[in-house]
Amino acid sequence: MMSAVLYGGTVLAVLVSWRLDPEKTKRALRIGAKSLHGLAPRILGMVALVGLVLALVPPEAIRKLFSHGGIGGFSLVAAIGSIVTMPAPIAFALVGSLFKLGAAPASLATFVTTLTMVGVMTAPMEISCFGKRFTLLRQALSFVVAIVIGLAMGVLL
C-alpha cells in the first residue's frame, strides 16, 4: 500500500512538473536515468553478494553470531558491519533476512547501524572530503552509538 502511494505521488509530481516545464522535466528524467544506470551495477552486485553469503553461511552460524549479548557481542557485530558498509535499502533487506533466520533483534540493531553509518572501506574517500580528524571522530562516535543502540534494544525488547 505504501509503495503504491509513493509511486502514485511520484507520477503525479512528474506530471505536474511536465505541465509546468516539459524541457526541464525531460532533462531531470535523463539525469535520473543516467544516475540509475550508474548505480544499478553496484546495487545488483551488493544484492548478489548478500544472497551468496546468505546461501553459503548456515542459518545456525548466523543465529550464533547474532545472539551474543553485551558489549563484547555487540562490538563483534558492530565490527563486521563497520567493515562491510552498504546503502540503507540493501542493509535493511539483509537485516530482515537475518531476522527471519533467527538473529537477535538487539544484535541486528547494532549491525544495521554500523552497516549504514560506519565505513572502513569508504573512510579514505571521506577523509579526502572532510579531513582525517572529522572522519575518525564521526566513525568512532557512530560505532559507540551503534553499541549503545544494541544495548538499549536488548533492554527494551
pLDDT confidence tier of residue 18, bands split at 50, 70 and 90 = very high
Is the per-residue pLDDT at 110 higher than 90? yes
pLDDT at residue 49 above 80? no
Comparing CA positions, the residue from 104, 105, 118 lying closest to residue 146 is 118
My answer on whether 75 and 45 are in the same domain is no
Q: Are residues 3 and 22 in the same domain?
A: yes
pLDDT confidence of 42, banded at 50, 70, 90? confident
- Positive or negative torsion for Cα 100, 103, 105, 110: negative
> Could you read off the pLDDT of 135-147 as tens digits, one per residue?
999 999 999 999 9
pTM: 0.71
Residues 1, 65 within the same domain = no
Same domain, 35 and 85: no
